Amino acid sequence: MNMLDLFPVGQKITLGTRAFPAHDIIAFAQRFDPQPFHLDAEAAKNYVFGALCASGWHSASGWMRTFLDFWTERCTAIRAEGGTPPLLGPSPGFRDLAWIKPVFAGDELTYFLTGLEARPLNSRPGWRMNMCLAEAENQHGEPVLRFTSSVLEQEPAT
């Protein structure tokens, strides 16, 4: 079994939904992105977004958290059925990151993954590179986040 067996090319998979309450937005911003429009609802009214909104890194890290939770559940289910889940390695990064729309306090984001391609790595025999489209929509179905993610996977033994 490999990652594309679980995430077929072109099939959009729903990973889960996460809420963005004001206190979480502020806590994240205090640690990682201390901009006034992420820290203070009153101050945010005077900035371009007009209201308290999450850091783009907060919404992106929400995608990763949701993916990891989803992946852990899938691997547990595969093992319970007697299978061996794919062995994912590190991610060499992402590209084409777009923060399409602000994520405001009270928004809920639903995160998605769509498999794009997998290819063997000539430089690392036994490994492949998986590419996928990572996306998020708010509770109104409006896109708010998109990027192309890559992750290494050890090919199953034959």
- pLDDT at position 158 is 59
The lowest-confidence range among 36-40, 71-75, 120-124 is 120-124
pLDDT-based confidence at 53, cuts 50/70/90?
A: very high
3-state SS class at 2: coil
Q: What angle do CA 6, 157, 134 make, to 5 degrees?
A: 30
Q: Please state, rounded to an integer, the average pLDDT across all residues of the chain.
A: 94
CB atoms within 10 A of CB 54: 28
Distances (CA, A) of 56 to 25, 29, 33, 91: 10, 10, 9, 19
Contacts of 117 (CB under 8 A, 6+ apart): 9, 130, 131
Contact 149, 88 (CB under 8 A): no
Of 158, 55, 62, the C-alpha closest to 103 is 55
Dihedral sign from CA coordinates of 120, 124, 127, 130: negative
Give residue-wise pLDDT tens across range 61-110.
Answer: 999 999 999 999 999 999 999 999 999 999 999 999 999 999 999 999 99
75 or 7, higher pLDDT: 75
Once rounded to an integer, what is the mean pLDDT over residues 31-38? 94
Structural domains of the chain sorted by starting position, each given as residue range(s) with its CATH number in brackets:
3-154 (3.10.129.10)
